[in-house]
Structure 1
């Protein structure tokens, strides 16, 4: 009992530091998720399960690539390295790493957008989209591609700001994007204020303009006020060693996201075989789940930044304290969603689709109640992964994500969903198993590998 009290004891000052960084990050990601949520809700009210499936599958294709290559790879590498250089008070190196990471990200963003635009139809076919979805989905993707590079570049600028503990600016960027998206969604989807009724196309246009608006704000702030600057003078004395340091962190982080995202995409392909009702129920549940894990993501961001800063300073004891505090707070907050999903499942599903779609609502409510049990394990997985990244280790989270996604989730989904055609609720039971194993393994490795902390820290030149 005494040991338990000691492990759960939280220092008020440490809690304040963690909350100061994590709360804006939580709000930021909740607002980003709301952009997708608003699209899903309005499109569901406008066009039912076919429209929801179109936007859902198209978004899945787009953000699978952008997350793997930029948002969860280069952005993670930038935050991890720059946070430690900033903590060590090596501002010149911090600026150099930020500039090199952003420049590399610019090239990757352009190449990614071109690929998605050119092969949008083939990607949807490959993803298993039904004929009723492919045509409209291709149009949706092509429109969104106009603003896609701005979305990825904004993600990297946000990473630069987070690296020195500024999570408020990325939050404001998300507010700008949500306001623009929400306003234009309502007008363009339903054809208000004299605008034509564009439906799914209107949702795509709203998302595109929101992405561009967010980037403009982020770029202006970073140029004028950020403590870490993007200064292209560093490109003149190009350093292969610096690029190697960035990619050594970014590639495993990207591969971790690939393990999750590709497994999720292949899963969506198999779920498609259950029909549009099951897919729509699953998509709405995924949307609600994506809201629920935002607190975990926010505390993971705080852990990466605070742990990284303290590692840079050489204060490993405080780094461990920040990590433990983020874990306890994050798990506690996500347990609130466990209660909400168990108490109000049908009411939450009804927010995303017309009440006449009773089959979708009933099936979605059953899925959501299973998703409720995922929350603590999901929080543990995300936050411990963030702690590892603060120490400069992106390989361990990748390996565990690969094992749980490709040796647990995919085989079970293939057998029970694709071959046996069981209910979509079985898929959510499989997800529960995956997250439980993922969180447990990460915590075990955290305890084992971070105990001899002084010898474990990744060193930079």
Structure 2
């Protein structure tokens, strides 16, 4: 296989999977905006901010990354038993954490949403919506962990197929519920119900794929048992990665609260711009995951020179793709925004367009940050990305947003300038630390 193909064959299905999930989120927000208006967009944004924050911190950027880092190294070393053992234990840990996240949302969701700035009817409706959403996330979490296992083995096309099934189910049910069954009666909970059904479908598909490939993975076939030592190793790698996401997500959650206190117009504009910008995160995030997997495999093969190559190949492709989004956001922000707002929300559209244009600056910086953070994780170093994220989130982004938006009452555009600064510092530090780790490995061998 061509060395460039090795990167693209693993990365492109992951990118495609994220394209599907992102457009599912975008269409979700577009449909609910047309169906129920600006208030419904706020409900969806608040609920997703609360529930997905827990999921991203603990699962997507925690246990999943720990699994990929460890499993890929054993795949590279051709130790099939250890790879299967860590797969089994990672999924078991994830199921336990999924239960905790769901229960926490039911017991404390009301208080969390109040802290985020929701009041009155908005608080009551969002809490009820979030309870259904939390159950949906339970099935999404388990599917994500199984997909992490497939990615670590190099079968990244399976998560893509899972996401396509979920996308079709979600959009179809949204359309049926909003514009046929409940077209004359607004019921925001139908969006959460369609999410629940679509994630159950994805979960069933993942289980079927595990059974189909169990002769390769030795998973769920009675030969593997829970290992405390394996669980500890996964947790050891997962915790710093989880804390890294926590540093970013919690600071973002607090920033969301500050924006909420600044007015619903700022909040809506920021949510719309963030939703559109989330499209551009796909290449950076995907190549970051691919870098973790490929670097892990090369480390398992004890081929350190190839570690450096695959990381820079991933960075090259990520930069090309994300710079393309920079041009799109810079020259066509208003065209993109108009799909998310009605005719009566011109001020929201104007602000969202300005934010998106500023977001064009962030794209290459995000690519560098995510890819080389993924490289560090593939090397087994999940602590350094955590330290860098804590520094940029809590010592740069959060204080500056509080000062300029809450104290000085600047426009929402200030948030986006500050975020660009954060990503710039983050990317430079990730790159320097990755090169230093590679240098140490080369001198060692």
User: How high is the TM-score relative to the length of structure 2?
Assistant: 0.96
Report the Cα distance in structure 1 between the residues aligned to 2:175 and 2:218, rounded to whole angstroms: 37
Cα pair 2:10 2:290 within 8 Å, conserved: yes
Cα pair 2:35 2:186 within 8 Å, conserved: no
1:449 aligns with 2:429: no
Report the Cα distance in structure 2 between the residues aligned to 1:196 and 1:220, rounded to whole angstroms: 39
Question: In structure 2, what is the equivalent of residue 97 of structure 1?
Answer: 86
Q: Structure 1: where are the runs of 5+ without partners?
A: 1-11
Cα pair 2:36 2:186 within 8 Å, conserved: no
Could you report, residue by residue, the CA deviation over 1:233-282 in whole angstroms, capped at 9, with x for unpaired residues?
4664x433222211110000100110111011000000001211110000
Could you report, residue by residue, the CA deviation over 1:56-93 in whole angstroms, capped at 9, with x for unpaired residues?
01100000011111111001111110000011000001
Could you report, residue by residue, the CA deviation over 1:179-228 in whole angstroms, capped at 9, with x for unpaired residues?
000001112123x1588744421111111111111111011101212532
Cα pair 1:77 1:250 within 8 Å, conserved: yes
Question: In structure 2, what is the equivalent of residue 44 of structure 1?
Answer: 33
Question: In structure 1, what is the equivalent of residue 117 of structure 2?
Answer: 128
Q: Give the one of 189, 198, 203 matched to 2:178.
A: 189
Change in Cα spacing, 1:339 to 1:199, as seen in structure 2 (3 Å) is farther
Q: Which runs of 4+ in 1 moved over 3 A?
A: 193-199, 231-236, 454-457
How big is the shift at 1:456? 7.4
Change in Cα spacing, 1:412 to 1:41, as seen in structure 2 (3 Å) is same
SS in 2 for 1:348: helix
Report the Cα distance in structure 1 between the residues aligned to 2:342 and 2:121, rounded to whole angstroms: 20
Could you report, residue by residue, the CA deviation over 1:28-64 in whole angstroms, capped at 9, with x for unpaired residues?
0111122221221111112222111110011000000
How big is the shift at 1:161? 0.1
Change in Cα spacing, 1:50 to 1:313, as seen in structure 2 (3 Å) is same
Report matched runs for 1:366-445 at 5 Å: 366-445=354-433
Question: In structure 2, what is the equivalent of residue 177 of structure 1?
Answer: 166
Question: In structure 2, what is the equivalent of residue 107 of structure 1?
Answer: 96
User: How high is the TM-score relative to the length of structure 1?
Assistant: 0.93
Q: Give the one of 54, 58, 71 matched to 2:47.
A: 58
Report the Cα distance in structure 1 between the residues aligned to 2:145 and 2:44, rounded to whole angstroms: 25
Could you report, residue by residue, the CA deviation over 1:93-123 in whole angstroms, capped at 9, with x for unpaired residues?
1111111111111111111111112222111
Q: Structure 2: where are the runs of 5+ without partners?
A: none
Cα pair 1:96 1:231 within 8 Å, conserved: no
Cα pair 1:306 1:390 within 8 Å, conserved: yes
How big is the shift at 1:132? 4.1
Could you report, residue by residue, the CA deviation over 1:285-307 in whole angstroms, capped at 9, with x for unpaired residues?
11011111101111112111111
Change in Cα spacing, 1:205 to 1:197, as seen in structure 2 (3 Å) is farther
Question: In structure 2, what is the equivalent of residue 8 of structure 1?
Answer: none
Question: In structure 2, what is the equivalent of residue 26 of structure 1?
Answer: 15
Cα pair 2:101 2:134 within 8 Å, conserved: no
Cα pair 2:136 2:192 within 8 Å, conserved: no
Cα pair 2:292 2:376 within 8 Å, conserved: yes
Question: In structure 2, what is the equivalent of residue 3 of structure 1?
Answer: none
Question: In structure 1, what is the equivalent of residue 251 of structure 2?
Answer: 263
Report matched runs for 1:1-400 at 5 Å: 13-190=2-179, 192=180, 197-225=185-213, 227-231=216-220, 233=222, 236=225, 238-400=226-388
| Aligned residue-pair number | 444
Report the Cα distance in structure 2 between the residues aligned to 1:97 and 1:223, rounded to whole angstroms: 17
Question: In structure 2, what is the equivalent of residue 4 of structure 1?
Answer: none
- Larger mean CA deviation between 156-165 and 27-36 belongs to 27-36
Report the Cα distance in structure 2 between the residues aligned to 1:189 and 1:369, rounded to whole angstroms: 32
Could you report, residue by residue, the CA deviation over 1:141-176 in whole angstroms, capped at 9, with x for unpaired residues?
011122221111011000000001111000111101
Change in Cα spacing, 1:456 to 1:359, as seen in structure 2 (3 Å) is farther
